């Protein structure tokens, strides 16, 4: 079954944004469309942007980071990209790990924010302030992607999920 792409207003609602805010992010070049993932813009009069589920999750992640005070939107876009567009053998892009929790962990290391998608299990010991290379962060922001993806899915049209 081929899923129809989502409209701008549907994605804005799923991300908790106004359509105007999302449009301004595009006007400033903060959101990059990926035709390979199913995003595209129609041409002609009344053209519109149409989004894949990947991009809907990407935009919702950007919005969450912006609500936490990470700006500009271009920077939040780069951090969100690590979840929405990059996968691993265990986790396809914009999807959750099959077991445990999926966290997007943003660490400030040497004055620079770096995002990493991590698989976290209940009861497991985790040192949020150390990345995989054992570098120590001065601060950490954690997004529970299980909750964020569930919220996006619940707000997008049901016939398409």
| Helix runs in the chain, H state only | 8-15, 19-27, 53-67, 73-84, 145-155
Q: Which of 50, 114, 126, 52 is nearest to 80 (CA)?
A: 114
Residue 58: is its pLDDT beyond 80?
yes
How confident is the model over 87-116, as pLDDT tens digits? Answer: 889 999 999 999 999 999 999 999 998 899
Residue 71: is its pLDDT beyond 90?
no
Tokens of 39: 């995003």
How confident is the model over 19-43, as pLDDT tens digits? Answer: 999 999 988 888 888 888 888 887 7
In a 3-state reduction of DSSP, which class is residue 1? coil
Domain boundaries defined on the chain: 6-160
Full-model pTM = 0.89
With a CB cutoff of 8 Å and minimum separation 6, the contacts of 22 are: 8, 11, 12, 15, 31, 59
Compute the mean pLDDT over every residue in the chain, rounded to the nearest whole number. Answer: 89
């Amino acid at each position: 079954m081929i899923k129809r792409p989502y409209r701008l207003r549907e994605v804005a609602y799923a991300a908790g944004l106004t359509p105007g805010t999302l449009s301004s992010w595009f006007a400033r070049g903060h959101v990059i469309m990926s035709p390979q993932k199913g995003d595209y813009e129609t041409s002609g009069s009344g053209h519109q942007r149409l989004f894949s589920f990947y991009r809907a999750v990407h935009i919702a992640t950007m919005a969450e980071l912006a609500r936490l005070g990470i700006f500009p939107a271009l920077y939040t876009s780069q951090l969100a990209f690590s979840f929405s567009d990059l996968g691993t053998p265990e986790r396809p892009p914009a999807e959750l790990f099959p077991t445990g929790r999926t966290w997007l962990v943003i660490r400030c290391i040497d004055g620079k924010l770096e995002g990493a998608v991590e698989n976290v299990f209940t009861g497991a010991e985790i040192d949020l302030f150390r990345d995989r290379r054992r570098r120590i962060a001065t601060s950490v922001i954690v997004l529970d992607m299980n909750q964020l993806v569930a919220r996006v899915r619940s707000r997008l049209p049901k016939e398409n999920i």
